[in-house]
Amino acid sequence: MSPFWSSARSLVVPGWGQLRNGSEFRGGVVFGLQTYFLLRYRVAERRGRFYDEERSAENPRWDSAYLDERVADSKDTRGDMVWWSVITLLYSVIDAYVDAHMVGFDEQIEEVERVTFSIEPNGEEGAAFVLSSHF
């Protein structure tokens, strides 16, 4: 899988690029975090709308200062969730890109390790140089 398409998948659905690269756990964590942040945003939006409507009512159940504070808290929470969501999305895209470059890296290391070089003691006579190759 090309790094570009892997990162593009993570841009569309956070965690998809990690899943495609074989990093299921990281993909699940990224998807879970993104879902959590979006749900928290939605809950804060609904609460803010509720308190804003209550503030506009003729006979509000709470005093004006409390309602103003709740609306402001809701707005702050929404802003925080947007930032955390963007950070998670950027992490997902960058991680998928890097991970796509690393796919097959272990196999390449194994190929390199097939040729080994060592120096072994050879009794009192000195040392033996050993070059071995495994096919």
Q: What is the pLDDT of residues 93-102, one digit of tens each?
A: 999 999 888 8
pLDDT band at 22 (very low <50, low <70, confident <90, very high): confident
What backbone phi and psi angles, to 5 degrees, belong to 125? -80, -20
Rounded to whole angstroms, the maximal C-alpha distance in the chain is 103
Is the pLDDT confidence value at 70 over 80? yes
Asked whether 15 and 36 are in contact (CB, 8 A), the reply is no
Cα separation, 106 vs 3, whole angstroms: 17
Is the pLDDT confidence value at 118 over 80? no
Radius of gyration of the chain (CA): 28
Asked whether 65 and 123 are in contact (CB, 8 A), the reply is no
Q: Looking at residue 114, what is its pLDDT? A: 66
Is the pLDDT confidence value at 92 over 60? yes
Is the pLDDT confidence value at 131 over 80? no
**Whether the predicted model's global pTM rises above the 0.85 cut:** no
Cα separation, 25 vs 103, whole angstroms: 15
Which of these, 101, 49, 53, 102, lies nearest to 77 by C-alpha position? 49
Q: Looking at residue 3, what is its pLDDT? A: 84
pLDDT band at 105 (very low <50, low <70, confident <90, very high): low
- State which amino acid sits at residue 67: L
